[in-house]
Amino acid sequence: MTRMLIVGPPGSGKGTQAERISDRLGIVAISTGDIFRANVKGETALGLEAKKYMDAGDYVPDSVTNKMVRDRLSHEDVRDGFLLDGYPRTSAQVDELADILAAEGKQLDVVLQLTVEDEELVTRLLGRAKESGRSDDDENVIRHRLDLYHTQTEIVVTRYAEQGILAKVDGLGAINEVTDRIMAAIDGVIGS
């Protein structure tokens, strides 16, 4: 049973790698972005509230995000483990996730941090915007999201590093190479 997070700036390949790692380990990949988009598409109350923040490139407030994540982590498919992508993003969310897991007598095993330089991320995200038509991927919004990542989310990385469960992984290179580096990093943290 493995419970893990994958963190990194927008465009670092978290979603792609989460799917690959979940397949290799036989655990479910949970993307908060997908949870948000499903709620927005379904026009749920939480989804409509989240949409206004997403459209501006801002993070969805903790109160909304925590409710969505708590609900998702209550599903049967997470009992054997999970790989969570996009949460937690704030120190308060780190505490909330710890509380959610502690209520089940569990804790995180490993936190993977994908690292990629900002200019590479802007290039990747602009290319993705052209391909997919995602409204949250124009250059100004992208740069705003990267600034938010650096000012808010890096606090999360520091907290997990202090717990000794953080593994930094270079996110540049072929997809298979990055996946192999991630698997080695997981073994390095869990096996130690």
79 is a catalytic site residue: no
In terms of DSSP H, where are the helices of 42-117?
A: 45-55, 62-72, 91-102
- Asked if 84 and 66 touch (Cβ cutoff 8 Å), the reply is no
Is 53 labelled a binding residue?
no
Residues of the chain above pLDDT 90, percent: 56
Looking at residue 138, its pLDDT comes to: 82
Question: Which of the residues 20, 89, 124, 181 is marked catalytic?
Answer: 89
Looking at residue 133, its pLDDT comes to: 65
Is 128 labelled a binding residue?
yes
Is 13 labelled a binding residue?
yes
- In the predicted structure, residue 74 carries a pLDDT above the cut 80: yes
For the segment 120-173, what is each residue's pLDDT rounded down to a tens digit? 999 999 887 667 666 556 889 889 989 988 888 888 999 999 999 999 999 999
41 is a catalytic site residue: no
| Rounded-to-integer distance, Cα 11 and Cα 167, Å | 19
Looking at domain 2-187, does it have CATH number 3.40.50.300? yes
Mean pLDDT of 101-110: 94
* Total-model pTM: 0.83
With tokens 């969805």, the residue in question is: 60
Q: For residue 177, what are its two tokens?
A: 């190479």
Backbone angles phi, psi at 12, to 5 degrees: -80, -5
Burial of 9 (0-12, 13-18, 19+ CB in 10 A): buried
Is 37 labelled a binding residue?
yes
Give the start-to-end residue ranges of the domains of the chain.
Answer: 2-187
Mean pLDDT of 102-124: 94
Roughly what angle, to the nearest 10 degrees, separates helices 91-102 and 154-163? Answer: 50
Order of all β-strands in the sheet with 166-170? 28-31, 81-85, 2-7, 110-115, 166-170
Question: Which of the residues 14, 72, 124, 181 is marked catalytic?
Answer: 14
| E-only strand ranges, the chain | 2-7, 28-31, 81-85, 110-115, 166-170
20 is a catalytic site residue: no
Looking at residue 159, its pLDDT comes to: 95
Looking at residue 135, its pLDDT comes to: 57
Looking at residue 151, its pLDDT comes to: 87
Is 158 labelled a binding residue?
no
Is 40 labelled a binding residue?
no
CA distances to 93, 94, 96 from 100, rounded to whole Å, are 10, 10, 6
106 is a catalytic site residue: no
Question: Which of the residues 3, 72, 124, 145 is marked catalytic?
Answer: 145
**Residue 33 — very low, low, confident or very high, per pLDDT cuts 50/70/90?**
confident
For all residues of the chain together, what is the average pLDDT? 90
| Rounded-to-integer distance, Cα 186 and Cα 64, Å | 30
